[in-house]
A = this chain, B = another copy of it.
Amino acid sequence: MAKYRLVYFRGRARAELTRLIFHAAGEEFEDVQLDDQSWQQIKTTSPTGSLPMLINNETNEQLVQSMSIARYIARELGLAGSDAYEMALVDSVADTMNDLLGDIVEVTFEDDARRKKERIRRFHERALPETMEFLDRFVGRYGKGSGYAVGQNLTYADLCIYNTADQMVLAGVGGWKDLERYPNIHTIVRRIEETPRFAGYLKSRPPAAF
């Protein structure tokens, strides 16, 4: 039996980062993806009423909040940085990318076509370049030429960068080409795509609507 069970909807949005961390560490996990109807049925008996939810199958310990889950699993599996300060730097990349993911998710769930177009325009004019220019400098400084975001090894910061870019593309908000002007970010994204351990998963995972 896998130690952890990750429960979410049939989509990537707030759960895919944790899935990528499990795959990066080569750790098996139960990937429970619910449709809306099943979730409505168990929602009232759920201790929290929100997804994603992580459950430890051995202790029955539960945890909610997508970034708290991702951070916890990354630390448990050795993908969160090598000392307290490096962990904080990794967290700061993840928090930065999660802010950008928030903007992307907002666009995804915008039903009004005109407002959606306007949100996408503002995303490209402001949120994307401001975040990426900062991040590209940050990686140049703290990745020290390793090809990773922080320090000498893969951390969940790299996965967070990849995942946010992937969701930007999935949501139709931007394309992979938009990252090419940020050389350090581009290197990280390419490296993750080409790592065999991910490449298999990335190619085989089901198509998602969000």
Interface residues on A, range: 20 to 34
A76 at the B interface (CB under 8 A): yes
For the complex, give the distance between the alpha carbons of A191 and B14 in Å: 34
- Segment at the interface with B among A16-24, A133-141, A166-174: A133-141
Chain A 54-83 interface residues, beta-carbon cutoff 8 Å to B: 61, 63-65, 67-69, 71-72, 75-76
Q: Is A152 an interface residue (CB 8 A)?
A: no
Q: Which residues of A contact B (CB under 8 A)?
A: 47-50, 61, 63-65, 67-69, 71-72, 75-76, 84-85, 87-89, 91-92, 95-96, 134, 137-138, 141
A-B contact pairs, 9 of them (CB 8 A): A48-B134, A61-B85, A65-B91, A65-B95, A68-B92, A69-B88, A72-B88, A75-B84, A76-B84
